[in-house]
Amino acid sequence: MDIRVLELDLKSGVYNTAIDSVLQNEVSTGQSPATILFTRWEPTVSLGITQNSDLDVDLAACDKYGVQIVRRKSGGQSVYLDDEYIVYSVIAPRDKFPADLTHLRQKFCESIADALNRHNVKAQYYQPDNVIIYSGENNSEIRQIGNSGQIINNKAVVVHGSIRYGRKNLPTMTDVLKINGHKLVAYEEQIKKALASVDEYSSVPKSKITAELSKSFASYLSGNLVRGSLTQQEEFALRNPQDYINDVRNEPSFTAKGVCYLFMNGKNLVPELSYMLPYNKPSTVADSTHQCL
């Protein structure tokens, strides 16, 4: 199987969220090949499909910084993304992925950890869907550096996630994100301690990491890498990217889910924030397939 590799220029959060849906649709119908996609993001808050934006996002702060808000089709918590992150998506037919969600998450996080380790960033998989670095005395501290999520339909799967390359915009992140109605700005130093970035450990350029990731993902899918570009049909579909993403408005059932980077296996990584949302169960297969079957 040939696997197309796409690397896009800097785009809006709406465009980068929509392209996952467009490519999943095209792969599902056999119109597009399996694809490894790397996107670059203008500042964006991406919400999980059933997450309450009023409780977990400071809308006024987003306006102040020019941060876009989108709602993706996968479950989980909010993430803040900008050009300091390496953001990937892998889209392929469903039969190329394991049926077991735990195994799928583990394999992709291990692929990320392997790519980082080849550049002296000593990363490891941490269940169910995170990549971490142990630090401190006796490796007693956990620092999150990457993650994965998934969108599953009957014919194709999207596995997507991010790796934190740098943290220079951390003050923006802590101002625009909330947890269950509580602001995070007072806890910036504690959050900084919990979140690792590639540039703390290595000067490797992003391009080398994306090359390593492409090889790892292709090996997992037993495919051959082929450099490619968007098809005319894909470009046509992306003329109106807003058509492919979910409404940011809340439904009555939507709840606070917190910040993806700060929850490890359901538990808050920063003890000082535990009063805001002590525990948040990891997303399930039902979250990944919500409105997608």
Q: pLDDT by residue (tens digit) across 33-73?
A: 999 999 999 999 999 999 999 999 999 999 999 999 999 98
Task: State the average pLDDT over residues 164-184.
Answer: 97
Q: How far is CA 57 from the centre of its chain?
A: 17
pLDDT more than 70, % of the chain: 97
Helix (H) or strand (E) holding 105: helix 101-117
Domains contained in the chain, CATH given: 2-289 (3.30.930.10)
Q: What CA–CA distances, in Å, run from 73 to 35, 98, 201, 215, 274? A: 18, 20, 33, 26, 27
Residue 106: name the closest of 131, 123, 88 by CA.
Answer: 131
Whether the ω angle into residue 33 lies within 30 degrees of 0, i.e. cis, is no
Instruction: Give the predicted TM-score (pTM) of the model.
Output: 0.94
User: What digits encode the pLDDT tens for the residues 90-127?
Assistant: 999 999 998 888 899 999 999 999 999 999 999 999 99
For residue 287, the model assigns a pLDDT of 64
